[in-house]
Structure 1
Amino acid sequence: MSIVSSIISSIDGILTASSSAPTFVPVTASHTVFTPDAVPTLQVAREPKPWTQDETVLNAADRGNPDAEVDVVVVGGGFSGMMAAHNISNAGYSVLVLEARDRIGGRSQTQVLQSQPGAVIEMGAGYINQKTQPTVYALCEKYGLETLAQYDTGDNIRQGYDGQVYRESFETEKAPESVQKFQELVAIAASKVDIENFEKFPEEKDVSFADWLGQAGLWNDPDARAAAESLTSSLVGRMPQELGAHYILDYIQSGFGLVSLASEGEDGAQSLLVKNGTSSITEALAKDMPDGSIMLNSPVSRIDQQAPGEVHVTTKSGFRVKAKKAILAIPTNVYSQIHFTPPLPSSKRAVVSQTMPGLYAKTVLNYASPWWREAGLVGKFSSRNGPIVFSFDCCNVDMEQYSLMIFISGDVASAWHRLNDLEREESVIEHLAALVGPDLASEARNVTEVTMVEWTKEEYIWGGPTSSMGPGMLRKYGDSLRESFGDLHFGGGETAYKWRGYLEGAITSGLRTAEEVIGDLGSSD
């Protein structure tokens, strides 16, 4: 068995029913897959307020004149926008961040457990590493934020697409031949993708990921198809039929390959957790900026470029900002909620209008003890049937906080979103109980707290961990995502070359836009 085969299975149970002897009796999933839901209706905008450390609600009028004039206005207070604003402010320019939601951090969301004050859980982006994500790790070092190594001791529990459940260790995992072929094909193809020169991808291969696998004779194999569906739904919350082969291969290579994306090692995507939560990174950036630099509850409705060096940004509440430069650091699928004058270039409109936010949700189950560790399990539970697609142990033993971080994604998430709150909780807990078998089922059900975030329904985000592209889009229009338009610059994690969909990618995209803006402003001074 190749190293790729053994490691990639830890993402989300890519391996399907195999020759390994089952530990538990087969479990038949009662879950039904539905067509992905439409984008939810927007909620009514709340009253804008400046960001403050203690989250005190203030009116826009409390900062003086409700209209502001600054050197740079940044639309979006996620990691990309906050990094850009921080560096621009440090360069001596005035900056104002307009964040649509009532908090900063974007797709990162750290929450305090209600049942255990002081203990935090990650409901959004949560992982970093020291080796291949140097920028985000350096920020943790700079601000004295401690990290916690991902727990990686014990066996996995995997449910195949046929409902069969297996307990597997690293040594006993064995993939069907077609799955091994799939993994090797994807790993090799991704390694050949030039992530900074999109036009080099062969046009004849620029089809859907499903069709690309069909060209290799794999799509009609049920094991290989299940592996492909698990891979794409876990990585980007979309199915192989929807995604361009170029896009998903580029995405894999942007994260340094399949092994890196599946690993908890020093250079893996799941290497380290931030003890105080990843939201503490953006809060540290905010505290480094002058008071009044961030306005919350301020969704932008218009961006008007009236003359060179003059950009007018208007929020839904009518708050107006005049700036020399503007940075757009929001998910591309949210661009459609802003009216641009003049309109965005056709190439940018073409790609933005067709990006697809991932269907994604996260549930954290908290317990009084780490019963899975005590049973020799690592905390990785995976299934193609759902609602649990994949999971990780996210305990902080020093805080006596014992939690499982569970992901629901892709077509499974689409069906799960249709349930009410109690049904969603029950479905996850009962699925976990079925996966661990009768001897541990009572432990799985003995939950002290359940926390859920449906990213697909989160206002002004509408999905995660990124927005994806269909066939042909990245090769034709990928460059336009990063291209500035007049005095409007474009950031956000989706514009990153490396670690797209991760905190590192969001931060480096913020650094790029800050460098662009500072360079332009410096040359015009």
Structure 2
Amino acid sequence: MNKQKVDIIIVGAGLAGLSAAKKLQEQARTFVVLEARDRVGGRLLTEQFSLPSKSLDAPTHYWIDSGGQWISPTQTSIRALADEMDVTTFTGAPDNGKVILIFKGEYYQLNLGEDKPTGCFSKVVTLFKQNFSYDYNEFQTLELELDKMANDFSDGQPWGSPNAKKWDSITAQAWIDANAHTEGAKFLLNLSCLLAFAATPSDLSLLHLLFYIHCAGGLTKLHNALAYRLNGGAQEVPKRIAAQLQDNVKYGNPVSKIINNAEGVKVILSNGDVYEADHVIVTVPPALQANITFSPPLPASRRQLQQRMPMGSSVKCHLVYETPFWREKGYSGLVYSDEHVLPFITDNSNPQQSSPGILGCFLEAETVRKMMDKPIEEIQTLITKTIEDIYQPFIGTIPKPVAVHVMRWSDEQWSGGAYAGMMPPGVWTGYQNTVRESVNRIHWAGTETATKWFAYMDGAVRSGYNAVDEIYGHEICSDDPLSN
């Protein structure tokens, strides 16, 4: 058994934990980051693959983001951190070719050469504006109402709204059912929930949806949340931070117990090693915190909250083709559908390479739950057939993918799902700020604690900085990304 004493122990080497560690390093504090996995990044995972060469040339190498991948123009914290780590960005959504919309049994197309709105979601909204003006107008009206409701509270405190009890007593789906009358508005709102939560509107309270909108600064900014990607993959940022932290990041070290008393904290690993510190920052999702034994036990309100923040059900898929066949036929790779198990598809190819062609997509949430325990091969077959069904009416027979990658985040022991923990009805008003409140020397970070850009990389980065500020104090200066 090894023992070590530091100023701060950080549990988890995702963006939240590494951002906290980076700030501690800049303050010349001593710290250790304990990571259960054999890698950094948490819910960011950039995987490297290669395709066999058909000639004497070297095989084709490519990468895919199996986890989070998009950032937006107003996500200032992750953008500043990426800049500091010398990770550049590129356009996150295709801006050439035709977008396909499949809606109520009909097929529609938009040429991006005629209209190039920013962000993937903005493009499907433009399709509705051109083809379904009544549906589009209702959606716009509902958006304005949601924005207005989301401004009914401040500082990330949804329970402070005079309407909080009412809004937290119903699901987002109940509000949609009562207020959306066109199929187009319903489709766009449901698609928003898939892209935002990897869940259906029936999984979360209306108040939580409003909190999510509030954290982004409004629905217009949310529509641009998929505007950029990171060169080399999103995991490049945590990898480069970890390289600077060097041996302060310990891999393959699950935490089994945290002892919290007046003198400090003691963290015991599953292998028996012990770390002691003045404070500990826990960054794992609330739903997984029950895997750690706390002594003394956490307050009842905290334990109850952890039982009430389930993770989203995300299955992210990538189909790899020798070449981007869709581009050859004038298509962007962007598809939106109300009748397929893949409601959203995009071109996820690497911009530095002419091949292979990569389509990225998500299974819709109800299908994910049906396929939760099915063999991965069944999912591969399902999505391959779905891509064929979508494209063949436009361009005839398409090639078979040379590789199909499926990431089922519920299979990840140390994530339990993705993108983030959610608040069903009654949680925000019942537990209020419990998700963020420290317990003596235990402090919480992770995107679930963010008051800006909850559930995004930016929220994770902010939460790591905030945890350090909570311990040591902080003065916001004019160039601080958290002041934006």
TM-score by length of 1: 0.79
Aligned to 1:175: 132
* SS at 2:232 equivalent: coil
Aligned to 2:309: 355
- Report if the CA contact (8 A) 1:110-1:121 is conserved: yes
User: What's the offset of the Cα at 1:69?
Assistant: 1.8
Of 234, 238, 263, 2:199 maps to 238
* SS at 2:50 equivalent: coil
Aligned to 2:211: 250
User: What's the offset of the Cα at 1:397?
Assistant: 3.5
* SS at 1:489 equivalent: strand
Unaligned runs of 5+ in 1: 1-64, 263-267, 521-525
Distance 1:385 1:348, change over 3 A: farther
Distance 1:440 1:293, change over 3 A: same
Aligned to 2:479: none
Of 236, 240, 256, 1:280 maps to 236
Q: How far apart are the structure 2 equivalents of 1:191 and 1:113?
A: 46
Of 145, 149, 173, 2:91 maps to 149
Aligned to 1:38: none
- What is the identity, as a one-letter code, of the residue corresponding to 1:155? K
User: What's the offset of the Cα at 1:371?
Assistant: 1.9
Q: How far apart are the structure 2 equivalents of 1:338 and 1:177?
A: 52
User: What's the offset of the Cα at 1:241?
Assistant: 1.9
Q: Is residue 425 from structure 1 mapped to residue 368 from structure 2 by the alignment?
A: no
* 1:293-333 deviations in Å (ceiling 9; x for gaps): 1111222221111x224111122222221111100101111
Distance 1:517 1:409, change over 3 A: farther
Of 46, 54, 71, 2:7 maps to 71
Aligned to 1:394: 348
Distance 1:164 1:419, change over 3 A: farther
Aligned to 2:173: 210
* SS at 1:484 equivalent: coil
* SS at 1:278 equivalent: coil
- Report if the CA contact (8 A) 2:82-2:237 is conserved: yes
- What is the identity, as a one-letter code, of the residue corresponding to 1:452? V
Of 105, 126, 134, 2:69 maps to 126
Larger mean Cα displacement after TM superposition, 462-471 or 221-230: 221-230
Aligned to 2:142: 185
- What is the identity, as a one-letter code, of the residue corresponding to 1:275? N
- Report if the CA contact (8 A) 1:157-1:381 is conserved: yes
Aligned to 1:102: 38
* 1:395-435 deviations in Å (ceiling 9; x for gaps): 22422242111112411211233432222111111101111
- Report if the CA contact (8 A) 2:132-2:184 is conserved: no
User: What's the offset of the Cα at 1:103?
Assistant: 0.9
Unaligned runs of 5+ in 2: 52-58, 112-125, 475-484
- Report if the CA contact (8 A) 1:309-1:325 is conserved: no
* SS at 1:437 equivalent: helix
Q: How far apart are the structure 1 equivalents of 2:98 and 2:429?
A: 40
* 1:111-138 deviations in Å (ceiling 9; x for gaps): 1122255432111111123x31122111
Aligned to 1:507: 461
- Structure in which a larger fraction of residues adopt helix: 2
Of 24, 29, 51, 1:88 maps to 24
Aligned to 2:448: 494
Larger mean Cα displacement after TM superposition, 276-285 or 169-178: 169-178
Aligned to 1:199: 159
Q: Is residue 471 from structure 1 mapped to residue 433 from structure 2 by the alignment?
A: no
User: What's the offset of the Cα at 1:179?
Assistant: 6.2
Larger mean Cα displacement after TM superposition, 395-404 or 296-305: 395-404
Q: How far apart are the structure 2 equivalents of 1:418 and 1:180?
A: 40
Q: How far apart are the structure 2 equivalents of 1:512 and 1:387?
A: 39
Q: How far apart are the structure 2 equivalents of 1:195 and 1:432?
A: 43
Larger mean Cα displacement after TM superposition, 222-231 or 109-118: 222-231
Larger mean Cα displacement after TM superposition, 476-485 or 457-466: 476-485
- Report if the CA contact (8 A) 1:70-1:95 is conserved: yes
Q: How far apart are the structure 2 equivalents of 1:433 and 1:441?
A: 9
Any residues of structure 2 matched to 1:329-478 within 5 Å, and which? 329-401=283-355, 402-438=357-393, 440-443=395-398, 445-478=399-432
* SS at 1:301 equivalent: strand
User: What's the offset of the Cα at 1:385?
Assistant: 4.0
Q: How far apart are the structure 2 equivalents of 1:405 and 1:486?
A: 44
Q: How far apart are the structure 2 equivalents of 1:248 and 1:292?
A: 40
- What is the identity, as a one-letter code, of the residue corresponding to 1:175? F
User: What's the offset of the Cα at 1:500?
Assistant: 1.2
Of 77, 80, 85, 1:138 maps to 80
Aligned to 1:36: none
Q: How far apart are the structure 2 equivalents of 1:186 and 1:102?
A: 43
Taking only the aligned residue pairs, the percentage that are identical comes to 25
* 1:193-248 deviations in Å (ceiling 9; x for gaps): 235232233022322112223443x37x6655444433322310222222100101
* SS at 1:466 equivalent: coil
Q: Structure 1: which 4+ aligned runs deviate by more than 6 Å? A: none
Q: How far apart are the structure 2 equivalents of 1:471 and 1:439?
A: 43
Distance 1:376 1:255, change over 3 A: farther
User: What's the offset of the Cα at 1:475?
Assistant: 3.2
- What is the identity, as a one-letter code, of the residue corresponding to 2:171? S
* SS at 1:132 equivalent: coil
Q: How far apart are the structure 2 equivalents of 1:432 and 1:229?
A: 21
* Alignment coverage as a number of residue pairs: 444
Q: How far apart are the structure 2 equivalents of 1:76 and 1:316?
A: 14
- Report if the CA contact (8 A) 1:234-1:409 is conserved: no
Q: How far apart are the structure 2 equivalents of 1:138 and 1:88?
A: 17
- Report if the CA contact (8 A) 1:491-1:509 is conserved: yes
Q: How far apart are the structure 2 equivalents of 1:310 and 1:346?
A: 21
User: What's the offset of the Cα at 1:373?
Assistant: 2.2
- Report if the CA contact (8 A) 1:110-1:124 is conserved: yes
Aligned to 2:120: none
- Report if the CA contact (8 A) 1:313-1:322 is conserved: yes
- Report if the CA contact (8 A) 1:309-1:323 is conserved: no
Q: How far apart are the structure 2 equivalents of 1:503 and 1:442?
A: 38
- Report if the CA contact (8 A) 2:7-2:30 is conserved: yes
User: What's the offset of the Cα at 1:393?
Assistant: 1.4
- What is the identity, as a one-letter code, of the residue corresponding to 1:303? I
* 1:44-69 deviations in Å (ceiling 9; x for gaps): xxxxxxxxxxxxxxxxxxxxx62322
